[in-house]
Chain A
Amino acid sequence: MAARRSLRFAALGYLGLLLAAPVGMVFYRAFEHGLGRFFHALTTPGAEHALYLTLLVTAIAVPANAAFGIGTALLLARRRFRGQGVLDRMIDLPFAISPIVVGLALVLVYGQDGWLGSTFAGAGIQIIFSTPGIVLATIFVSLPFVVREVLPVLREIGDEQEQAAATLGASRWQAFWRITLPAIRPAVIYGVVLSTARALGEFGAVSVVSGRLEGETETLTLYVQNRFDGFDLTAAYATAVLLAVLGIGVLVALTVLSRRRSQHGY
């Protein structure tokens, strides 16, 4: 009993010192000069533009990821093809690669001298140091979330329900919309929430491809660093708190979703 209590104490103490106390401290710092300063720091043009850009990028990247994720998961779970094993194993790669490396790879491919970058530049589209580049980087780093959530569910439910739908006269498309999608919906939502969190908070890859032009290609996370480096700690802390609150919101959503998911049994 005593042993159990000391283990509990050790675990909670570790979490307290590593997680809870620092996060609490940021909140304290952000609000120590009052609510007015906090909101003032978030309503400067730079902050507002960063928020706008972050939301825009997220709004593009997340639906793209959801569509890609569902498609890839279906491909991996329901079809047999050459290279399937490799794809299955490499689907997590964006998680394992450093975001800085992701950013560099995108610069090399889509930059002005890159293979595709020069083509796009010819068409008058600038990707690197501009919004499309940020969107690409964000999609890349959050690519696996939906696949990882949906794939095991697809494998778990098997294809019997889809076959049953077929014997009842449903086309593949009808079976997908009426049978498969409702069955994987909780997993899709879960994956979407996770990729939203990652999209809002991505820093390294965006840092490389955006060029960090203040008021142009600066997302919220970049704005935090910008303010910190400029010794405007109040703004840095305020923006960090905004991001932390979004993160905590995601956390709450995930907790609620996973509880509901375990109740439904899928």
Chain B
Amino acid sequence: MGIETAGIHKSFNGHVALDDVSVVVPEGSLTAILGPSGGGKSTLLRVIAGLEEPDEGQVLINGRDVTRDPAQDREIGFVFQHYAAFKHMTVRDNVGFGLRIRKRSKAEIRSRVDELLGLVQLETYADRYPAQLSGGQRQRMALARALAIEPRVLLLDEPFGALDARVRQELRAWLKRLQADVGVTTIFVTHDQEEAMDLADQIVLVNDGRVEQAGTPHDLYEKPENDFVMRFIGLVTTLDGRLVRPHDVQLLPVPGAASDEAVVERVSRLGFEVRVELTRASGEKVVAQLSRAEERELELREGDIVHVRGVDSASVLAA
């Protein structure tokens, strides 16, 4: 159950957007499709929604093959990146649109819309037009509109992309709670790895039209399958010719087991975190990430000689 795509291919005018993409999204989960822009993640979401038809492959929603069904028959809720608000309709009419298409009774539409407006905290804005709402409010209206038809799955395309940082944080937490309450299988597209790590039960990392890795945020961070995944999620540096996380680089004031000398080139103190750039005798550049307390003990200054090594538990990848 949930959503499944099998062997999806899609190209536009010879440009391959999706190349053999197979993804399984468990029922009730909150899944992120993550990746750099232009990598095909929005196309994948639109294929699932039926807004694009794949050249090859299948889309299954709750076990049913919907590959050839038009979007209107898929019972999905889709939230567009720029909300696609119906400008000439009030908030109330926007939210009730899907129900009117389904010819529900006036009374039923009214009560359902009221309920949803309560859910997205827009009760007092029911009679406004989209142009009179802030970005965050428009976003919530779009979400209520998508949820009104009780979709089998909820699809969100860069849902927080057009919002400023503070609103984005708020809405993120709110969406997480909402999804847990409603329990609908949800996929959202994002290019922001922090957003994906924070929200998702499962991340599908898409790059260049292919799935690089799919798994829990923990898996992708701790057990990256290739250097793209490792580099895309979290910081990396090289140590002994291998990729490691900067927080897995240890700095010692005196030589230790398997340590090596390095010169401190630059120290940037970013509040709690301190980043240290070093050059080893071999010429290798290394970045170490320390806490403020650790750094204070070492009293690092540019030009100092320290001793570096990787911590034992480091996740490491051949560069």
Contact = CB atoms under 8 A, between A and B. Distances in A.
B88 A166 contact: no
A164 B78 contact: yes
Query: Which applies to chain A's interface (DSSP): helix, strand, loop or mixed?
Result: helix
20 contacts: A160-B82, A160-B84, A161-B84, A161-B85, A161-B86, A163-B71, A163-B78, A163-B80, A163-B84, A164-B84, A166-B70, A167-B50, A167-B77, A167-B78, A168-B98, A168-B149, A169-B73, A170-B97, A178-B97, A265-B131
A165 interface: yes
B210 to A, nearest CB: 26
A169 B131 contact: no
Point out which of A161, A164, A171, A266 has the most chain B C-beta atoms below 10 A from its C-beta: A164
Nearest to A178: B97
Contacts of B70: 166
A183 interface: yes
A183 B88 CA distance: 7
Given A160-B80, A164-B86, A166-B50, 13 more contacts: A157-B87, A161-B87, A163-B84, A164-B80, A165-B101, A166-B51, A166-B71, A168-B97, A169-B72, A169-B73, A169-B101, A170-B101, A266-B87
Nearest to A182: B88
Contacts of B200: none
B101 A167 contact: no
B76 A179 contact: no
Size class of the contact patch on chain B: 20 to 34
Interface of B: 49-51, 70-78, 80, 82, 84-88, 97-98, 101-102, 131, 145-146, 149
Contact of A174 (B49, B84, B101): B101
A170 B84 contact: no
B146 A167 contact: yes
Contacts of B50: 166-167
Contacts, number: 63
Contacts of A183: 87-88
A166 B84 CA distance: 12
Nearest to B80: A160
Interface string A6-30: 0000000000000000000000000
Given A160-B80, A164-B78, A165-B97, A170 B87 contact: no
A157 B87 CA distance: 10
Given A164-B78, A174-B101, A169 B149 contact: yes
A176 to B, nearest CB: 13
Instruction: Please give me the 9 A-B residue pairs with the lowest Cβ-Cβ distance, nearest first.
Output: A168-B98, A164-B84, A167-B78, A160-B84, A166-B71, A182-B88, A169-B101, A166-B72, A170-B101
Contacts of A169: 72-73, 75, 98, 101-102, 149
A219 B98 CA distance: 50
Contacts of A174: 101
In this complex, the member of A161, A166, A167, A169 whose beta carbon has the largest number of chain B beta carbons within 10 angstroms is A167
B277 to A, nearest CB: 45
Nearest to B155: A167
Contacts of B49: 167
Contacts of B75: 169
A31 B311 CA distance: 101
Interface string A137-179: 0000000000000000000010011011111111100100011
A189 to B, nearest CB: 14
B76 A167 contact: yes
Contacts of A160: 80, 82, 84
A182 B80 CA distance: 20
Contacts of B146: 167-168
Interface string A231-266: 000000000000000000000000000000000011
